A and B are shown apart, each in its own frame.
Chain A
Amino acid sequence: MPPGLDNLRHIVVLMMENRSFDHMLGSLTAVNPQIDGVTNQLGNPDTTGALVKPQPLAQFQGQLDPDPDHHFPAVDLQIFGGDTSPNRMANMQGFVKSYFNQQKDVGHSQKIMYYFAQNQLPVLTTLALEFAVFNRWFASIPGPTICNRAFAHYGTSFGRVDMNLLYVNEPFKSIYDRLINATPKHTSKLYYYDTASSTMEITNLLQNQPELFGTYQQFLDDSKTGNLPDYSFVEPNYSDHDSDDGEEVASDQHPDHNVQAGELFIASVYQAIKQNANLWQSTALLVVYDEHGGIYDHVVPPACTPDQFQASPNDTGIGMPFAFDRLGVRVPAILISPWIPKGTIVNRVFDHASIPGTLTKFFLGDYSPRSPRETSADVFIEPNVAPVNPARNLLSLDIMRTDCPDFDV
């Protein structure tokens, strides 16, 4: 068996907020043309008809205000450019028009096309170049945070496309439940930043199973002592607030929170794992974003296996139902492990259902019931069962790397 899989004991997922692939990693096409980011051929029309090209002019804070609309109707406009006909084709031409709707300012609306230069994001871009970057990781639905995060926890959003309360209404257990109730038992934990930031999954998980949760300080302690569970889901800080330790700056990178604070947080998670040599060799860390936040990306989201739910025209707000048969906009996703060759680029299609899908197959093997979307989702870590397909295994090195970067956190 490949030693990377043989040694793997812990999987950690850090899910950030509301930034698209082109916005955060688009600059890397200039470094490596195999990374599908920004080129000179891209653009969106503004409301005067002028073509607005992506430019490396993104700012850490204060630029994307108001928060770009990322609810279902706005994302529909972004993807289909305003075409509402029955046989419409996605063209990714509606981002500037969508942002214009919020402030009716032509100049301001063009900023939705801005992306970060490589040197502005030393952490994310270094990780993308050093480990495995996914060219085709999409949000699970073309809509907002709560439903997309639900796919990461349950493999479905139970028919929801909005930010309303989301109740589990089908027997699809959370990945945490599956792991802790398995035989043999596995361990899992959601680490929120602190109690003032808390979690975004309250209705079902925090309310009913608060014992599943810990704080980010506990994550750091558990990493140091080697007591990380088999699966950890880490949430960034969602707000600027006071704490017993002083001022806490939001680190989720949700507009209009400071992007550099998020870079620090990502580096902190990475270093916490790397600083424990035993943990480093036995852990895979996935850094991923929940959805694109209304910000430009050029890749058309593909169709996917329909989930067994349907959102009504009333729920979608676009006068048409939605069968969960199309993915959301592309987001940054990077898999990190010292067993991954430098410069790995993954072109297979993934979405957040791949998270419970991967964890279930790796730790539990066969398991049901699972949602149709999760059952059909690709996995980013191959099950450690012979034969392992070498073309699919990302943790493919025979000898662990010793040249992985360190960040000064």
Chain B
Amino acid sequence: MALIHVPRPENAWNPNRAVNALLKSQVLQLHEAELKLPVRQQTDIYINAIKTEGEAAGYVRQVTEAIHAAHQTAAAKQARSRVKRTSKVRTKKKMTRKRGRTPR
């Protein structure tokens, strides 16, 4: 079968287009999520001032990346904390065996 040509859109890009209802809803959802992030990861953006698609996209990007980063930070902390706890338990057992005591 012959290759089917797909025309490219011309002059379609307009980040100054007024934000539509779907994007407004997305911004609201992300704002709700943003408020649950650690303060240092929250944006300084006032969402009621977002009027264009470009502005909405900028906000969406910051909060989406912040959510990912916050989860990664939390996961790393939890992993370090598990390593610490495991090594404390091992150290305690070692010390107990050395002294010939029955562990509690």
Interface residue ranges, A against B (CB under 8 Å): 17, 60-61, 67, 122-123, 126, 144-146, 163, 165, 194-200, 202-203, 206-207, 210-211, 213, 238-242, 247-250, 254-258, 260-261, 263-264, 267, 403-409
Distance in angstroms from B12 CB to nearest chain A CB is 4
The answer to whether residues A195 and B60 also contact, given A165-B29, A238-B23, A241-B54 and a CB cut-off of 8 A, is yes
Q: Is the CB of B25 within 8 A of A146?
A: yes
A207 to B26, CA, bound (A): 13
How far does the alpha carbon of A202 sit from the alpha carbon of B61 in the complex, in Å?
13
A163 with B58: CB separation less than 8 A:
no
Once the chains are docked, how many angstroms separate the CA of A68 from the CA of B53? 18
* Chain A residues within 8 Å of B3, by CB: 406-408
Closest 3 CB pairs of A and B: A241-B57, A196-B61, A258-B12
Mark out the residues of chain B between 52 and 79 whose CB falls within 8 Å of any chain A CB in the assembled complex. Answer: 53-54, 56-58, 60-61, 64-65, 67-68, 71
Q: In the complex the two chains form, what is the Cα distance from A134 to B103 in whole Å?
A: 69
Interfacial residues of chain B within 24-69, with CB under 8 A of chain A in the complex: 25-26, 28-30, 32-33, 36, 53-54, 56-58, 60-61, 64-65, 67-68
- B77 smallest CB distance to A (angstroms): 16
18 A-B contacts (beta carbon < 8 Å): A165-B28, A196-B61, A197-B60, A202-B32, A206-B33, A207-B33, A207-B67, A210-B71, A239-B23, A240-B12, A240-B54, A240-B57, A249-B13, A260-B12, A263-B6, A264-B8, A405-B4, A408-B3
For A61, what are the chain B residues with a Cβ–Cβ distance below 8 Å?
Answer: 9, 12
In the complex with contacts A241-B15, A406-B1, A260-B7 CB distance below 8 A: yes
Query: What's the nearest-Cβ distance from chain A to residue B25, in Å?
Result: 4
The verdict on B89 contacting chain A, using a C-beta distance below 8 Å, is: no
B15 CB contacts on chain A under 8 angstroms: 239-242
The complex places the Cα of A220 from the Cα of B90 at a distance, in Å, of 45
Q: Do B30 and A239 touch (CB < 8 A)?
A: no
> Distance (Å) between the CB of B55 and the closest chain A CB?
9
Which residue in A200, A258, A263 is a CB contact (below 8 Å) of B26? A200
Q: Are A163 and B57 in contact (CB under 8 A)?
A: no
Contact B22 A409 (CB under 8 A): no
Which of B9, B54, B58, B71 has the most chain A CB atoms inside 10 A of its CB? B9
Known contacts A247-B13, A248-B13, then 14 further A-B pairs from the complex at CB < 8 Å, ordered by chain A residue: A122-B7, A163-B22, A195-B68, A202-B33, A206-B64, A207-B33, A210-B71, A238-B26, A239-B57, A240-B54, A241-B61, A254-B20, A260-B12, A407-B6
B22 & A198 in contact (Cβ 8 Å cutoff):
no
A165's contact among B5, B20, B32, B57, by CB below 8 Å, is which?
B32
CB < 8 Å: which of B13, B23, B71 contacts A211? B71
- Is B93's beta carbon under 8 Å from chain A? no
Give the size category of B's interface with A: 35 or more
Q: Does B21 contact A (CB under 8 A)?
A: yes
Could you tell me if A123 and B4 are in contact, using CB atoms closer than 8 angstroms? yes
- Do A256 and B60 touch across chains, with their CB atoms under 8 A apart? no
Q: In the complex, what residues of A have CB within 8 A of residue B8's CB?
A: 260, 264
B17 contacts the other chain (CB 8 A)? yes
Q: Which B residues touch A144, using CB under 8 A?
A: 21-22
CB of A202 within 8 A of CB of B26, answer yes
Q: Which one of A61, A122, A194, A250 has the greatest number of beta carbons of chain B within 10 Å?
A: A250
The answer on a CB contact under 8 Å between B32 and A196 is no
The one of A126, A199, A239, A263 that contacts B53, using a Cβ cutoff of 8 Å: A239
Q: Which residues of B contact A404 (CB under 8 A)?
A: 1
- B86 interfacial by beta-carbon distance below 8 Å: no
State A406–B28 Cα separation when bound (angstroms).
Answer: 40
Which A residues lie within 8 Å of B12 (CB)? 60-61, 240, 249, 257-258, 260-261
Distance of A60 Cα from B9 Cα, bound (Å):
9
Report the nearest B residue to A403, measured CB to CB: B1
Q: Which of B56, B57, B65 has the most CB of A within 10 A?
A: B57
Q: Which residues of A contact B91 (CB under 8 A)?
A: none
Give the nearest-CB partner of A70 in chain B: B21
